[in-house]
A and B are shown apart, each in its own frame.
Chain A
């Protein structure tokens, strides 16, 4: 009887302790709201975040930081949601254990912008179905994973910090087995492999419905499984963004046998995204991308950035932080663009490094050229 009373008292105490220690959680989101609107009081935001050794940056930011930006700085590294299965964009090299790719370089640029160190990143590979919840819950700080910018995703997943690759959806078939397939109508009753959780799935059924042509989808959850089934002959065609098709084709046993049809099934503006709630972090992500594009427009490369510091061109001077204090509004260092360009290069260099003529992908820049060179790549000015 005494034991019964003792046990019940202990249980009560344990429950009360659990309830009380989890109490601070609801207050944190409220602080997030405050900081975003007022943008003045930074102390409570920083204080409620778990204490970690502060990053070894030289001077404290002159502007109050949003909650996520503060958390990133306190953590000392950027958590980057990336791909590990698409060569050229986000690929984990199994031999070296390093992530490489077009989107990976954007993450490195972001890390250099915030910390000055391209290694201050933690890569979290996410598949197409996981990236949404990972961004929604704030598990990752930025998603650079060839993700299409759509209105649903802006509303529910997070904010898209611009477009770093204008793409479209395409279809790839085995030209050796099906040499006469040229358009979607030729794929009547064909099996098409597709990855789940993507705009690809929806566009596929939309386009085929428009053409009033039936087809059979075979849906997998990872790019590896999708293309393994396609290569094994399970499907007659495979569909994803054209850049993804080119990238994965380079991994097939006989890439020359596979043809990408001259069909563009949709608009796919791919860009990085950050979680909702912190306008400051959103600005940093946006302007890192715009810095890369503006650098190419102004002719600043990783090789000549030191000479460009002496340039008399006022646009270059503003971009590199020689004049003006544009960095203050973002909460970054004065020479953040210089460090970024030195570490990863400008947009053109990043593109050539991973997708250019010297790579197996050989993706033509197409509409990804600068706006004054025939494409639609356009970044707002540094002013």
Chain B
């Protein structure tokens, strides 16, 4: 018997070597192209007197911002101004995500309702919202809805010191007092207890604990309120010459942006939810009904847990879309990050570092959101069908 000939494969035909070599060469070439592009941009910017550092962040901004979550005045720096804008973007994005999810789920389920009117209405809403541009919707909501509210002279009054006019909605603002801290401890303890009881109530034979958890959540803070005296004072809005002063103000810009973003994204989320629900096998639903469960129970216990696997990834995209679409705020006067960045880029005369910073911020925000959503996604995925 002859020994099988063991010839070595020459390295230029050896698959292992070639794959690695190709990757190395590819990376080198990409790096060269990137370096060349960077050098090109640097030269061009230097030619035009554009500076490529971030020193402007410590210069005085000089412009006022209409509303921000963090305190800001015109004598603060550009860095502070950008933080104020970022706080506004975060506020709109977070509140927008929560509201649009609620509305989107409701509309998505309604779209599949056996009630003909309900499903038609949902369909009309979805098709209308998805097929018109967001900017147009924002302009309509801002100029056509919020600015047509009665003027300050004819403010609408609501019980509880709530006022509504075209300059916004004015609510009493809670102000912490000396006893707020004691009350805060009661609230924290109540939340922890309620969560613990809620977790325990998922065990069999312990469903009553869920009600106990709810009671704890309501009664303990109320008890704490009585003990602490007056933990919160309320600052009520007062009508002055031009506007209302004091209290919380929901400006029409914020409300219009929020409403526009929520309605727009809810339309898309509704379709995502509908896709998820339709992806659950019909056998599951038939079996559930044959077991005697009613519609609500089937939806809650059988359909949704399985639909979530299909819903969560596209839902993440919609959340990211909402966060990025919030940059349209500049068109209706809401001072979000992009609006402040445009002003800063103009006033400093250095658009490149400013817009790089803005892109990095949106990227960080989006990556963080998708990180959280992916963690949640992993928890709803099953390892096997």
Contacts and interface: CB of A to CB of B under 8 A. Distances in A.
Contact of A228 (B26, B143, B166): B143
B343 A201 contact: yes
A38 interface: no
Nearest to A220: B333
B49 A276 contact: yes
B335 interface: yes
B350 A156 contact: yes
B311 to A, nearest CB: 36
Contacts of A1: 15, 18
Given A11-B26, A205-B74, A233 B147 contact: yes
Interface size class of B (residues with CB under 8 A): 35 or more
A67 to B, nearest CB: 11
Interface in B70-106: 74-75
A190 interface: yes
B66 A25 contact: no
B245 A157 contact: no
A182 interface: no
Contacts of A277: 47-48
Contacts of A133: 345, 351
B49 A234 contact: no
Interface in B46-83: 47-50, 62-66, 74-75
Interface string A206-217: 101100000111
B241 A26 contact: no
Nearest to B29: A15
Interface in B24-61: 25-26, 29-30, 32-33, 36, 39-40, 43-44, 47-50
Contacts of B19: 4
A208 B64 CA distance: 10
A234 B166 contact: yes
B151 A233 contact: yes
Nearest to A188: B241
Contact of B62 (A18, A206, A225): A206
A233 B351 contact: no
Contacts of B32: 19
B47 A221 contact: no
Interface string A195-206: 011100110111
Interface string A33-47: 100000000000000
A188 B36 CA distance: 55
B38 to A, nearest CB: 12
A205 B65 CA distance: 10
A132 B346 contact: yes
A218 B331 CA distance: 11
A187 to B, nearest CB: 7
Contacts of A15: 29-30, 33
Nearest to B46: A29
- Best-surrounded residue of A4, A193, A275 (most CB of chain B within 10 A): A4
B339 interface: yes
Interface in A120-153: 128-129, 132-133, 136-138, 152-153
Contact of A221 (B66, B75, B342): B342
Interface string A244-280: 0000000000000000000000000000000111000
B169 interface: no
A288 B254 CA distance: 47
B347 A152 contact: yes
A236 B153 CA distance: 12
B74 A156 contact: no
25 contacts: A12-B25, A18-B33, A22-B40, A25-B40, A26-B40, A32-B47, A128-B346, A132-B351, A136-B48, A152-B347, A155-B49, A156-B50, A190-B242, A191-B167, A196-B339, A204-B63, A204-B64, A205-B62, A217-B64, A219-B65, A221-B330, A225-B332, A232-B166, A234-B252, A276-B49
Closest 8 CB pairs of A and B: A156-B349, A197-B346, A205-B74, A8-B22, A190-B242, A232-B147, A202-B62, A205-B64
Interface of B: 15, 18-19, 22, 25-26, 29-30, 32-33, 36, 39-40, 43-44, 47-50, 62-66, 74-75, 143, 147-148, 151, 153, 166-167, 240-243, 245, 252-253, 330-333, 335, 339, 342-343, 345-351
